[in-house]
């Protein structure tokens, strides 16, 4: 199981996150960012191609050593300054109010204590600092949601703790953020894993 989790799964996630239909949602999600940006669940760096030039530094949080290695050529090609600062979004090694903005893409589904991680982001952002997010989560369609609830226990075991059924917008607001922009849609393909929450939330 350790080989699967630590070595094979990061490579599978890297390929899965390279889907062409992720490109435009990533571009829209990252639009408007500037300064020092903390990104939790940095993964293998797929967001780097879409960061605006106004971003001075990406403070990356990523637990997987394999994902960090896979990110190296993307970081070099992007010309962005990327600094890996930690392994756990639930415990950020940053001072209060020290980041200009935060990013989370396809990450909140997997963090064990997602509320703690979101509160950590709120801590390191100044009042009014913005969290840009792109996540999959709970569908409002009862039939889709029923399958999401049914399949999540299997998904968690196989895919590193990933949940199909987290109510992303509610989790963000419960952690003290105010959602100022939100778009929901389905990606092409099966609906169970593909209901998206794309938006921006402000720290209080």
Query: Closest Cα to residue 109, out of 63, 166, 157?
Result: 166
Rg (CA), the chain: 16
Domains recognised in the chain with CATH numbers: 2-202 (3.40.50.150)
Give kind and range of the element (H or E) at residue 73.
Answer: helix 65-78
What pLDDT is attached to residue 5? 86
Query: Closest Cα to residue 78, out of 37, 109, 19, 125?
Result: 37
What pLDDT is attached to residue 172? 98
Return the structure tokens found at 42. Answer: 């940095």
What pLDDT is attached to residue 16? 92
d(CA 164, CA 179): 21
Residue 1 confidence (pLDDT) above 90: no
Residue 6 confidence (pLDDT) above 90: no
The tens digit of pLDDT for each residue in 54-89 reads 999 999 999 999 999 999 999 999 999 999 999 999
Count how many Cα atoms sit within 13 Å of the Cα of residue 133 in the half-sphere of its side chain. Answer: 31
Residue 105 confidence (pLDDT) above 70: yes
Q: Are 84 and 136 in contact (CB under 8 A)?
A: no
Q: What is the mean pLDDT of residues 84-110?
A: 97
Average per-residue pLDDT for the chain: 96
The tens digit of pLDDT for each residue in 153-178 reads 999 999 999 999 999 999 999 999 99
d(CA 160, CA 143): 25
What pLDDT is attached to residue 2? 84
Q: Are 172 and 114 in contact (CB under 8 A)?
A: no
What pLDDT is attached to residue 22? 95
């Amino acid at each position: 199981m350790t080989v699967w989790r630590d070595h094979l799964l990061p490579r599978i996630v890297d390929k899965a996150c390279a889907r062409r239909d992720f490109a435009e949602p990533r571009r829209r999600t990252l639009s408007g960012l500037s300064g020092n940006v903390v990104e939790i669940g940095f993964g293998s760096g797929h967001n780097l191609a879409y960061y605006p030039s106004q971003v001075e530094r990406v403070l990356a949080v990523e637990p997987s050593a394999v994902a960090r290695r896979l990110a190296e050529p993307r970081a070099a090609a992007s010309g962005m300054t990327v600094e890996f600062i930690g392994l756990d979004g639930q415990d950020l090694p940053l001072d209060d109010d020290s980041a200009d903005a935060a990013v989370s893409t396809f990450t909140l589904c997997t963090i064990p204590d997602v509320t703690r991680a979101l509160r950590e982001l709120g801590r390191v952002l100044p009042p009014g600092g913005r969290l840009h997010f792109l996540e999959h989560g709970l569908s409002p369609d009862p039939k889709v949601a029923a399958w999401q609830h049914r399949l999540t226990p299997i998904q968690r075991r196989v895919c590193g703790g990933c949940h199909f059924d987290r109510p992303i917008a509610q989790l963000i607001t419960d952690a003290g953020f105010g959602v100022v922009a939100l778009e929901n849609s389905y990606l092409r393909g099966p609906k169970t894993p593909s209901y998206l929450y794309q938006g921006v939330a402000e720290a209080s």
